[in-house]
Structure 1
Amino acid sequence: MTESSPVKAIVTDIEGTTTSISFVADVLFPYAKARIQDYVVDNAAVPTVAAEISAVRAEAGEPDASVERVGEILVNWIEQDLKITPLKTLQGMIWRSGYEDGSLKGHLYPEVATKLKGWKQQGIQLSIYSSGSEAAQKLLFGYSEAGDLTPLFDHFFDTRIGGKRESASYEQIKQTLGLPGHEILFLSDVVAELDAAAEAGVLTLALDRECIGEGFGAHPHVTDFNQIDLAALR
């Protein structure tokens, strides 16, 4: 970190920011969808899974739903791309087995790992904020194409801290990091998330991976991490 840079912490989104949307949409989601019904039935007696099954019933308003019905609900949520915490947690459990047996590797854009390591060496705090569960985040970066990157990160924020389009979530992140908003940079490809972060006084930068060049409102944008100039952010 240069002396002229105000940034002491970087919080980054995953999908469309560090990782291609296609990896999440075309690899991870189908992998979980194909397995989730059998997974909840086969593991219903496991305490951690049982707790998420109960959470699904509560979220769906079906307290007496059978385990088979819970599986149907989960598949429906996946098809609707809903950001519901018990779904994300169960997906993370399924993905773990895939990462551990080598059938899954976490995708990263080519420059991401090197840039993250460079920021860490400069003394910048690094955190993830994603709608995917903390466990899923750690799996993606722990079994990434660039190796285990989890030691680079101080925090893995997920929907338990709040929705990514709610400014209160970024207020919570500021409190957790112990820094004012103008010393925190949030990276994302979603304008509504960037708007919420900016409302909380956090610095924002849009990732324009598709090189659209517009549609980011008041947020500055870059096409990859190599274009990020921390000293230029105010």
Structure 2
Amino acid sequence: MEPAKIFQGNIQEALNQPWPQTVDAARKIQEQLRSQVIRDDGFSTVQYVAGVDVGFEDNYRITKAAVAVLRYPSLELVERAIARIPTTFPYIPGFLSFREIPALLQALQKLNTIPDLILCDGQGFAHPRRFGIACHLGVLLDVPAIGVAKSRLIGTHEELAAEKGSWQSLWDKEERVGAILRSRANVKPLYISIGHKISLETAINWVLRCTPKYRLPETTRLADRFASAREG
């Protein structure tokens, strides 16, 4: 079957699943699906990288999801997609995916360009139950995914050097769950963790490849802009 049909089929299957309405139900899904996370590289050639992000409108009643697809290695924007749906899950740390993924799936469904790799604005394996939004979306779509978070949810690390490209492992209960990465010299670091079908070292490498100038990868920067825009 063609990759585009597989991708769209995975989205439709995820949309057809009943979505949890309580924290207990959401926790059970995280515990059930986390064993499906693949922590090794499951891809080779990358032609398109995507960033996904979510904003909110009408006093958080509406979830607005944005997807930006960039050509690699030029990092030029080739497609974007927006979706708006009523917000159905409250803001609870550790359960971000249940608030954001329904809208993201609808935005991803609009794409004509299928990404080979997705960078998520949020955590992946660096999560109390090792199943943040990057893991959740990656498993649902069966697409390599990386968590690129602007703040730390869990874990400790050694002191980080100021130079771009410096990184330290992020540890939680003696388990390496991610890394803290200096994506630009002398600016606040990013917190990187695997989502699906990628190793941590490869994830760090790809975040740096997608971050030629600013603190955030171009994928995340553009998706954030589209998700935050009042129009579009």
Work out whether the TM-score is over 0.5.
Answer: no
The structure with more helix, counted as a fraction of residues? 1
- TM-score norm. by structure 2 comes to 0.32
Higher relative contact order (CA 8 A, sep 6+): 1
- TM-score norm. by structure 1 comes to 0.32
**Whose Rg is larger?**
1
